[in-house]
Chain A
């Protein structure tokens, strides 16, 4: 058994909403292994966004431990964690979250700037990735000049920029029509298949979950089901 790339151990997360305490995660444990394609499913309010924040090391648990590549993130300095996150994880968000002041290629280069990649190298690489996601002719466009699908592809390119080991996608097709959504999911699947990247996708859409090899169902902050899908079930859509 290989070592899990992300490991959550009895994680609790509680939010204070006024006087009410909301337990978003209740003692949740999860292991994500290298090369997996995991879909996390749950209705809204089930705690799946909180779980995603934990997996993405964007938040800290109130109780329990989160390990990224075997390292306890609560023991890392904030700066070190940022650096580490930028190196190992790539994020894709529902609302694309491109920086509006930067054009497509600058957005893709941004994570590499934070990792200290020299200018010539990151420019060449950013243009190459943009070409791969089919946006060669949009390289110097501002996000406002791009369609939703194009923006999400720029966001994908940005997530791939540092060759991360894990791509974390939060409802990546939530703001897109079904055709564009399918294209995005195929690009993600393609990266997973060809480069063996680990994928974690949060969704409430069963069609999207069908791309995955492993489905984790979450309800009331706890995992209710964690199962692998038989290969023949894949691609049936």
Chain B
């Protein structure tokens, strides 16, 4: 152990003397690790955001969304096709369905006092029963104020209360949305998802008047179930009922809607994000491999340059394993330092995107920078360094002292 510590110190001194070359080599690793850390933390963040969203939907519910399975994400993120009043009726008719709650949302500028900010407004139908359903199934609760009872009253999410405006929003004060004044009746406790917490909730009728959307349409519907029924069975019934309605209405039974149980949603999210992460890892790995080749190249050059030094060390008693350790440490340290740089930059970028890169008011990027990810970044880069350094180090260790000494004579 004592010896290894000394070899480590020697390795550090050696690295310090070749500053520029080592800096460039380290840079190669920094870029690779930077890519891995920033992309993985963002995709992990995306995954946890969506999972939170699913969790907050509760277990015993079925979601109905317009658009087929394949473009469910685009319709969830960016709106698009809507459910028609006939569709809502069809869902209600299906066996096992208790209540159907239609919901629409969009981004809008909201004025509070002298500030105008981008926020999301959402309309619920039916308004009063909907709130009951939401408080019962989804655990909505009032943090301050009361449940709204009139059309010009609104309910705000906790993020709206505390974060969006520079001052905390006061209950009972006024908010202006698209030129219309609303009274803030109550503020919700956090719903567990930043997206839901950033919404301003109102009656669907008022919402439609504000946005000019057609009467009775919804971006998606939440369906509560009668007691004791299986969510998968009900999901099938809803699907049948919807198909029938569509067939009658438009003459096709093509399923351009999706009926999702929370389980199915979860699986879909996992699959899609799994693929995304796989692709990210594959591309970032290429960068890391290139960085590793950089280390290998630099170490081979180093071994060539220091052939004589190696000969001297062997003459004065260095064993093969001593030389091997010194060179492996050098490569490992280069990798590790690159790992630290890459992790810091990657985490920095991910955080910056989280703070400033909110491209869509309804969709929050959050960066998930876990200790596990950081440890992974550091250990991984150290291992890459050691692997890349192995062949050069072995070449150094195998040098015959006499050959190494003679080479410069």
A→B interface (CB under 8 Å): 53, 56, 58-59, 78-79, 82-83, 85-87, 90-91, 93, 97, 99-102, 106, 110-111, 113-116, 118-119, 158-159, 162
Contacts and interface: CB of A to CB of B under 8 A. Distances in A.
B319 A82 contact: yes
Contacts of B401: 58-59, 82
B22 to A, nearest CB: 13
Interface string B384-398: 000000000000000
A176 B54 CA distance: 81
Contact of B3 (A87, A93, A116): A116
A56 B308 CA distance: 16
A82 B17 contact: no
Contacts of B319: 78-79, 82-83, 114
B320 A86 contact: no
Given A56-B315, A101-B17, A114-B313, 6 more contacts: A58-B401, A58-B405, A85-B315, A102-B13, A114-B318, A158-B316
A58 B320 CA distance: 13
Contacts of A82: 314, 317-320, 322, 401
B400 interface: yes
B308 to A, nearest CB: 7
Contacts, number: 73
A118 B317 CA distance: 16
Nearest to B322: A114
A158 B315 CA distance: 12
A116 B2 contact: yes
Contacts of A93: 312, 405
Nearest to A113: B6
A83 B317 contact: yes
Residue of B312, B321, B322 with highest tally of chain A CB at under 10 A: B312
Contact of B317 (A78, A86, A101): A86
B322 to A, nearest CB: 6
B309 interface: yes
Interface in B131-164: none
B14 interface: yes
A85 B309 contact: no
A101 B9 CA distance: 11
B318 to A, nearest CB: 5
B402 interface: yes
Contacts of A116: 2-3
Given A100-B17, A101-B17, A118-B2, A91 B321 contact: no
